[in-house]
Amino acid sequence: MDATIEVRDLRKRFGSTVAVDGLSFTVGPGQVTGFVGPNGAGKSTTMRMILGLDRPDAGTALVGGRPYRTLRAPLCRLGAMLDASAVHPARRARDHLLWLAHANGIPRRRVDEVIALSGLEGAARRPAGGYSLGMRQRLGIAAALLGDPPALMFDEPVNGLDPEGIAWIRALLRSLAAEGRAVLVSSHLMSELEGGADHLVVIGRGRVIADTSVEELLSAASGGRVALRTGHRQEAMTVLAHAGATVAADGPDSVTVSGLPAERVVALLTGAGVAFSGVAEHRASLEEAYMELTKDAVEFQAVTGGPGR
């Protein structure tokens, strides 16, 4: 079964608000794709259009090559959790899942499987109204997994969860991707995706800002800089500048070097007899890389007073 979600030139406007402004990206199988952008960037609207809940003004969203609304067994093609609170409070988790399974021609035994997969065994016979946020998220995830779909989509699944809940969801998403599924997960906080996503689609103001692997983004943001610690700052700076590096003192015994790889810095200093106590590639955090990418989108929102929801 084709495990891709493909968005092509998708556009959506609400009155004078342009929510999605020509988005194109593909969510491929076997990896977790993080869908990241500041509040109001258009993530939920895009996901709603993928599910056929909002009609695009232009463009297409395809699941396994077809619009979601035309799929014959949609839960078996794309599982989604957009709003974890969308369950009747009086309904027990198990009954909710049984009803969903029945309506979609999914065998009853799958209900107990997804209850186990999502760690809901202890709570499945209690009304959903009494659930904690973490349990509601688990129920939403159980429903998304019900049809054993090759593609999955989660809107802010870790929002408001405690560290244990976040770690659990992260591990689950990774294992779903490792099974070959396409997994799209949104967040407005890059830190929530650290260690959880392989690929990133970063959006701002309804447009793609970056569509990149996490590795590429981090090495671009790290900018080939080397952090040097030495008690002989001046001599070190002279030697390295002579070799063509750009050097900047950022402390009494620390220097940031750009334009030379770490091995070359070591070789030059050793050759010139300049002692040093540390040389390390500067490694940007995902959060740093993201802040840099989305700076303009955030500034725009601050000026216009935010998304206004």
Smallest gap from residue 155 Cβ to ligand ATP (A): 7
Got the DSSP string for 32-89? EEEEE-STTSSHHHHHHHHTTSS--SEEEEEETTB-GGG-SSGGGTEEEES-TT-S-T
Smallest gap from residue 38 Cβ to ligand ATP (A): 7
What 3-state class would DSSP assign to 10?
A: strand
43 binds ligand ATP, rule: CB under 6 A: yes
Q: Which is nearer to ligand ATP, 56 or 147 (CB)?
A: 56
165 binds ligand ATP, rule: CB under 6 A: no
301 binds ligand ATP, rule: CB under 6 A: no
Of 188, 207, 232, 264, which lies in the binding site for ligand ATP, with binding defined by CB under 6 A? Answer: 188
Residue matched to tokens 């890389």? 289
Of 42, 56, 134, 196, which lies in the binding site for ligand ATP, with binding defined by CB under 6 A? Answer: 42
For residues 164 and 183, what is the distance between their CA atoms, to the nearest angstrom? 21
Positive or negative CA dihedral for 285, 288, 291, 294? negative
Of 31, 45, 118, 137, which lies in the binding site for ligand ATP, with binding defined by CB under 6 A? Answer: 45
Q: Distance of CA 201 to CAs 186, 207, 307, Å?
A: 9, 10, 20
Query: Among 221, 227, 217, 225, which residue's Cα sits nearest to residue 259?
Result: 225
309 binds ligand ATP, rule: CB under 6 A: yes
Query: Among 52, 146, 65, which residue's Cα sits nearest to residue 104?
Result: 146
Smallest gap from residue 285 Cβ to ligand ATP (A): 21
For residues 92 and 71, what is the distance between their CA atoms, to the nearest angstrom? 28
Smallest gap from residue 156 Cβ to ligand ATP (A): 6
Q: Which is nearer to ligand ATP, 188 or 207 (CB)?
A: 188
Got the DSSP string for 117-155? HTT-GGGTTSBGGG--HHHHHHHHHHHHHTT--SEEEES
Q: Which is nearer to ligand ATP, 23 or 243 (CB)?
A: 23
- Interactions with ligand ATP, residue window 1-30 (CB under 6 A): 14, 17, 19
Q: Which is nearer to ligand ATP, 31 or 45 (CB)?
A: 45
Q: Would you say how long the chain is, in residues? A: 309
Q: Which is nearer to ligand ATP, 201 or 286 (CB)?
A: 201
Q: Which is nearer to ligand ATP, 203 or 221 (CB)?
A: 203
Judged by CB under 6 A, the number of residues near ligand ATP is 15
Of 28, 119, 127, 307, which lies in the binding site for ligand ATP, with binding defined by CB under 6 A? Answer: 307
Smallest gap from residue 202 Cβ to ligand ATP (A): 11
Helix (H), strand (E) counts: the chain: 10, 13
305 binds ligand ATP, rule: CB under 6 A: no
For residues 295 and 257, what is the distance between their CA atoms, to the nearest angstrom? 25
For residues 220 and 140, what is the distance between their CA atoms, to the nearest angstrom? 36
Q: Which is nearer to ligand ATP, 43 or 170 (CB)?
A: 43
Q: Which residues bind ligand ATP (CB under 6 A)?
A: 14, 17, 19, 37, 39-45, 188, 307-309
